Amino acid sequence: MNALISLHNSVFSRLERADWLAPTLARFVFAAVLLAYYWNSGVTKLGDGVLGILQPSTGAYVQIFPRVFEAAGYDTSQLSIFHWAVVVAGTWAEFILPLLIVVGLFSRLAALGMIGFVVMQSLTDIVGHHADPATIGAWFDRIENSAIMDQRALWIFVLLVIVIKGAGPLSVDRILRRRASEM
């Protein structure tokens, strides 16, 4: 029994000292699960041509401001500069924040931004798109796969690991930190 306890303590004490493991795995999981999801979502919001990054598609307004856009008769000219700015910023965020996390540049700030993005996305789905109770879900129930309460809580947890632990050793953040300490 003592040998088993010693083996347990030896293995898990090494894991506790592996500060690089959790942030590296969090970034890997983010890239594997959410990078393409957010980039594809961003692509649906781009307008036509080169200026599409500044002139979002009508679908972008439907996704981000569903009730307001409906009230405006689905006419973008009826919306304010505020609506345009939010849609453009949200579209850019779907490309920029995930990229920053994956390459490990300003990772903590990018992960905080993504947490805010996920919260706003969830609120828009619930309030603006009238998500049904099954889609919203509930914690501590027997159903593990609701799209909002369950899945997005796990997304936020992965992002919180990056906020708390940083990007890990395989990141631009680490290179910049080393260079700054050498100066």
CA distance 102 to 95: 11
pLDDT at 154: 96
Looking at residue 12, its pLDDT comes to: 86
* Domains of the chain by residue range: 22-182
Q: Which two tokens stand for residue 133?
A: 């109770």
Sequential pLDDT tens for the chain (183 residues): 888 898 898 888 887 887 899 999 999 999 999 999 999 999 999 999 989 999 999 999 999 999 999 999 999 999 999 999 999 999 999 999 999 999 999 999 999 999 999 999 999 999 999 999 999 999 998 888 898 999 999 999 999 999 999 999 999 999 999 999 888
pLDDT at 13: 85
pLDDT at 43: 95
Q: Which DSSP string corresponds to 123-173?
A: HIIIIIS---HHHH--TTSS----TTTTHHHHHHHHHHHHHHH-S-SSSHH
CB within 8 Å of 100: residues ≥ 6 apart = 106, 107, 109, 110
